[in-house]
Amino acid sequence: MKERRFVRELLESKQRILVLSFVVGVVFLFLVIRLWHLQILSSDDYHAMSENNRLRFVPVAAARGAILDRTGTVLVSNRPSFSLAVIPQEVKDKEALLTLLSTLLGLDRAEMAERWEKNRSRAKYYPIVLASNISRNHVEIVEENRLRLPGIEIEMKPVREYTSRQLAAHLLGYIGEVSEKELNIAGFEEYNPGDYIGKNGIERALEKDLHGDDGGRQLEVDARGRVLRTVSESYPTVGNSVVLTIDAAVQKQTELAFGVQAGAAVAMDVTTGEILAFVSNPGFDPSLFSGKLPADVWQGYLDDKRHPLENKALSGQYPPGSTFKMITALAGLQENRINDSTSITCNGSYDLGTSTFKCWNKKGHGATNLRKSLRESCDVFYYLLGEKLGVDKIAAAAQAFKLGSPLGVELLNEKSGLIPTTEWKLKRFGKRWFHGETIPVSIGQGAVLLTPIQMVSMTATIANDGTIYRPHLVKRIVDADGKTLRETKPEIIGTASFSKESFKLVKQGMLDVVNAPGGTGGAARQYDVKVAGKTGTSQVVRMGGSKAGTAYQFRDHALFVAFAPFEKPEIAVAVVIEHGEHGGAAAAPIASRILRAYFDGKKPPRKEAAASSQDDDEDTDENVTPAVMKKPGINGEASHD
């Protein structure tokens, strides 16, 4: 019995040993596999995690390039700005930290939490910007409470400084923090949350040139976040600078001439297409958009019926009114419907079927030829001519000037305007064109729409006898060392193929508009330069012209286009005053001031005025009576157009 018992116990012991050995073997095999996985398969991942635990990346933002005018005057530069950032790997209690920051700095806790959440997928050692453009007082509070704010850093970033505040705001544009949507756009892969980016204007259109390349430092830190050494460092590269074609002095005088009136003005070099002044009024302060725009300021912009945020010079589409009569006249001359001796009798209206189309001069202009029709802006002359031509002939003449399509200016969101045709109406409305619809088109009303930049291009093309230059705003791009990287050359984009004799007749009429008795544009006359121009008044609604007491938004627009000198044109201008009613009274004086600023700028400065001219300019310009208040017409004679 004892032997059997011994044998049984021995067998049981062997079974236990086998089971135990199997268990140990399995555990050992698991350990070997795990070690192989950790040390072989995942070694790179864990090495990276180890590095992240002890490394900190400090980004160094690049300064954006400057923006200058054609004379070298700095329009936009940079100033230092502070941002509040957090390094997630050093924060143990996120909620407590956000609450403390909100209490200490008065910042929006929800906004900081949202920024943090949006960037949670980024490396834990990479700083996340919680608030941008914070004040120096905020910086001091953070430094005083640094021991209570683990992981919080202050970053210094350059932001834009607009040296002349609102000057050329729509042209220059503004910058703001890059949005989540923009970060996902192709070409913006190198941008990080919290970076500043151009939002509109030149800042947006030339973002890639202006932005520069950011740098940064890779630091090794201990468990308490103290810097042990710099592992690697890359230096930021300053963005390229942009030299614009505009003249800051002409730009300033143009904006001052508008006063509180809404509208737009563009001045262009007739021989190159360079834009000398680019104004949309009223303006705005672009520096406000670099940080958090105050709610009351934003609401003020939205409530302003003059629409200060709209770039009217580029995107405003207006009926050109009588400034379009030059196109109709050129079409008539080309089609041999009129010549320099053609004369009609204007009795103050024109009847077509059951409709009566009135001239602005209810008494009529009497016997009227081409030259007089432009000088006194006779509507009936063009009603008759338009009926003979038909809308498609007028449209062909307009399209020869590239009207009705974008001209390719460097800025984004350029509008095309509209030149109606029979085909356009059929496609747009599914209806045929009626004969009577041509009548208002012949004087720049009806469906005709042009932008101010198209109006100035049209005027420049007439001035130089048919050469159409692409309007451009950028003169050259230069690097940080002042080396020219690229330069914009004059580009001819078409030719308005009308005879020189036709251009001569139209230009002679435009000369009379400003300089002859009875001309509607006498307010643009200069004492030393011959100016040729054309006034215009365009209806906003069909109400037979503006009357006293008419609500602002229903008043007619006032327009004026001009070029000078008449003998050898250099500059063309186009002015639109929204709801200004009469071009000769409201728009022509502004064009006069633009021309005066341009030609005065070509004169050598007087020595006796050099020392104090800048101070005097600042003291007097703000108090200049708006041009609209000047007495219109020739020798005080009031004019309609």
- The amino acid present at 78, given as its one-letter code, is N
**Domain co-membership, 489 together with 587:** yes
Given a cut of 80, is residue 554 above it in pLDDT? no
Q: Is residue 29 part of a domain?
A: no
Three-state DSSP state, 268: strand
What pLDDT is attached to residue 98?
Answer: 85
For range 103-126, the mean pLDDT:
79
- Domain assignment of residue 24, yes or no: no
My answer on whether 259 and 375 are in the same domain is: yes
Look at residue 17 and tell me if it is in a domain. Answer: no
pLDDT for the residue 6: 61
Q: Which of 279 and 354 is assigned the larger pLDDT?
A: 279
The larger pLDDT score, comparing residue 241 to residue 539, is at 241
Considering the domain architecture, whether residues 524 and 620 belong to the same structural domain is answered as yes
Mean pLDDT of 163-178: 88
- What number of other Cβ atoms are within 10 A of residue 92's Cβ? 8
Q: What letter would DSSP give residue 418? A: B
Summarize pLDDT for 323-346 with one digit per residue, the tens.
Answer: 999 999 999 999 999 999 999 999
DSSP for 18-35 reads HHHHHHHHHHHHHHHHHH
For residue 136, tell me if it sits in a domain: yes
Residue 494, pLDDT > 60, answer yes
Checking if the pLDDT of 575 tops 60, the result is yes
Q: How confident is the model at residue 56 (pLDDT cuts 50, 70, 90)?
A: low
CA distance 220 to 480: 32
pLDDT of residue 193: 74
pTM > 0.85: no
Q: Where does the pLDDT of residue 226 fall: very low under 50, low under 70, confident under 90, or very high at 90 and above? A: low
Question: What pLDDT is recorded for position 29?
Answer: 77
Main-chain phi, psi angles of 473, to 5 degrees = -110, -15
Better-predicted residue by pLDDT, 562 or 57: 562
Are 229 and 358 in a shared domain? no
Mean pLDDT value across residues 68-75: 94
Q: Is residue 192 part of a domain?
A: yes
* Number of domains into which the chain is organized: 2
Pair (492, 446) in one structural domain: yes
Q: Which of 217, 244, 271 is the last residue of a domain?
A: 244
Predicted pLDDT of residue 184: 79
Is the pLDDT higher at 80 or at 631? 80
How high is the mean pLDDT of the chain? 85
Residues 230 and 341 in one domain: no
pLDDT at 620 over 50: no
The per-residue pLDDT for range 417-434, each reduced to its tens digit, is 999 999 999 999 999 999
Catalytic status, residue 322: yes
Q: What is the CATH number of the domain that holds 344?
A: 3.40.710.10
Q: Are strands 67-68 and 241-244 parallel, antiparallel or unpaired?
A: parallel
Question: Are 621 and 548 found together in one domain?
Answer: yes
User: How many Cα neighbours within 13 Å face the side chain of 342?
Assistant: 15
Of residues 433 and 216, more confidently modeled: 433
Q: Lowest mean pLDDT of 106-120, 215-229, 288-302, 438-452, name the range.
A: 215-229
Name every residue whose Cβ is closer than 8 Å to that of residue 451 and which is 6 or more positions away in sequence.
313, 314, 315, 316, 317, 318, 414, 415, 417
Q: What angle do CA 551, 557, 558 make, to 5 degrees?
A: 125
Asked if the model's pLDDT at residue 291 lies above 90, the reply is no
> What are φ and ψ of residue 276, in 5° steps?
-95, -30
Query: Are 184 and 136 found together in one domain?
Result: yes
Is the pLDDT at 450 greater than 70, yes or no? yes
Query: Which residue type is seen at 407?
Result: L
Q: Is residue 301 part of a domain?
A: no
Domain span at residue 80 reads: 55-244
In the predicted model, is pLDDT for residue 637 greater than 50?
no
113-122, 231-240, 453-462, 616-625 — which is least confidently predicted?
616-625
Pick the last residue of a domain from 244, 260, 293.
Answer: 244
Q: Are residues 426 and 353 in the same domain?
A: yes
When pLDDT is cut at 50, 70 and 90, the band that residue 622 belongs to is very low
Task: Indicate the range of 194-198, 369-373, 457-461 predicted with least confidence.
Answer: 194-198
Query: Which stretch of 28-32, 221-225, 637-641 has the lowest confidence by average pLDDT?
Result: 637-641
Annotated catalytic residue: which of 132, 287, 290, 322?
A: 322
Domain match, 595 and 528 both: yes
Residue 36 domain-assigned?
Answer: no
Same domain, 196 and 265: no
pLDDT of residue 54: 63
We report the CATH number of the domain holding residue 237 as 3.90.1310.10
Between 120 and 522, the higher pLDDT residue? 522
**Which candidate, 526, 501, 497, 496, places its Cα nearest to that of 511?**
526
- 477 falls in which pLDDT band (50, 70, 90)? very high
Residue 7 lies in a domain: no
- For residues 582 and 323, what is the distance between their CA atoms, to the nearest angstrom? 12
pLDDT at position 631 over 70: no
Does position 628 have pLDDT exceeding 60, yes or no? no
In the predicted model, what is the mean pLDDT of residues 77-95? 83
For helices 109-118 and 94-105, angle between their N-to-C axes, nearest 10 degrees: 140
Strands (E), 87-226: 128-134, 152-162, 175-177, 196-198, 215-221
> Which of 211-225, 257-271, 449-463 is predicted with the least confidence, judged by mean pLDDT?
211-225
Q: Percent of the chain having pLDDT more than 70?
A: 85
pLDDT value of residue 536: 94
Confidence at 314, pLDDT banded by 50, 70, 90: very high
User: How confident is the model over 92-114, as pLDDT tens digits?
Assistant: 888 888 888 888 888 888 888 88
Q: Are residues 258 and 237 in the same domain?
A: no
